[in-house]
Amino acid sequence: MSGRKRRPKTGGRGIVVILALLAVAIVAGYALLRPAKRPPRGPVAVATHAPAIVATHAPALPTPEATSTPEASPTPSTQRTGPKLALIVDDCGQWLATERAFITLPIPLTLSVLPDVRYNATIADEASAAGKGVMLHLPMETVSGVDPGPGEVTTEMTDAQIDAQVEHDLAQVPLAQGVNNHEGSKGSADRRVMDDVIATIAKHDARLFFIDSRTAPDSVAQEAARAGGLPNAARDVFLDNSNEIAYVEKQLRAAAAIAARTGSAIAIGHPRSATLAAVRALYPELQREGITFVLAADLTKR
């Protein structure tokens, strides 16, 4: 018995090794196959977050109402409704510093410039460049005999002389958009004289207007302008018959009251320090009360 050789017992270990290798192969195969079997995550993430973005930001977008609200509130410079007040500064072309101060006021107003005075061209140019109105302040004969200055139209003139004088005066203020009478308590009450004046203005430029300064209660100037087909209007208030700030302020308020009652008013003042101070002090208050300042031309009609 001792001479027989024994067989090595290898069968059990081989089976174990084979089983171990099979187990490793199964695990590895499962690991490789597992990601391929899962659904892709990219589209799911997009689909999950997109609604959240829309829901978060859509309410923050400006609505049409929110966008248009600031534009719906008109500024004083663009508001053209409500009572309108036109300020005319007569006798311009003589007191340059005060007239320039009127031009710097941030409201529409009109400077009426005399012919044949020292600064007429200068102030007309500056007023026009600043967007203010420019008129010819046409000197006409007075009842009292007070000299209205160079360029006067008188009742003794012939039709041809009146025509020549008005043409000359218009040429002195070529930027004039209209005309109003300077003094003229006698001339403006004479229908022949006024018909001649209006005919020359209409011949010169059909777009020119005429405003009756109403220096006389029996003036026929506006009536003649209407008959002659010119755009026309008439003065409602004189601001500075008294050269005191308190008086001018009172007259300004009176003009604003007329505008509030009738829709519009024309006030005439002069290049005086009291008039300038009163206008400068009161225009913001009047604007807050609803008054819109306009050029004299804006209140004329045929």
Sequential DSSP letters for 104-148: HSSS--EEEE-TTSTTHHHHHHHHHHTT-EEEEEEEE--SS----
pLDDT in tens, 152-176: 999 999 999 999 999 999 999 999 9
Q: How far is it, in rounded angstroms, from Cα 273 to Cα 99?
A: 10
Mean pLDDT of 230-256: 98
The residues near 141 (Cβ < 8 Å, ≥ 6 apart) are: 148, 152, 153, 154, 155, 183, 184, 186, 187
**Strand, helix or coil for residue 177:** coil
Contact 123, 113 (CB under 8 A): yes
pLDDT in tens, 246-293: 999 999 999 999 999 999 999 999 999 999 999 999 999 999 999 999
pLDDT in tens, 54-74: 332 333 322 222 222 223 333
User: Would you give the end-to-end CA distance of the chain in angstroms?
Assistant: 153
Identify the weakest region by mean pLDDT among 16-20, 63-67, 73-77. Answer: 63-67
Q: In which band, very low, low, confident or very high, does the pLDDT at 21 lie, cut at 50, 70 and 90?
A: low
Q: How far is it, in rounded angstroms, from Cα 253 to Cα 247?
A: 10
pLDDT in tens, 50-59: 333 233 233 3
pTM to 2 decimal places: 0.74
Residues in the chain: 302
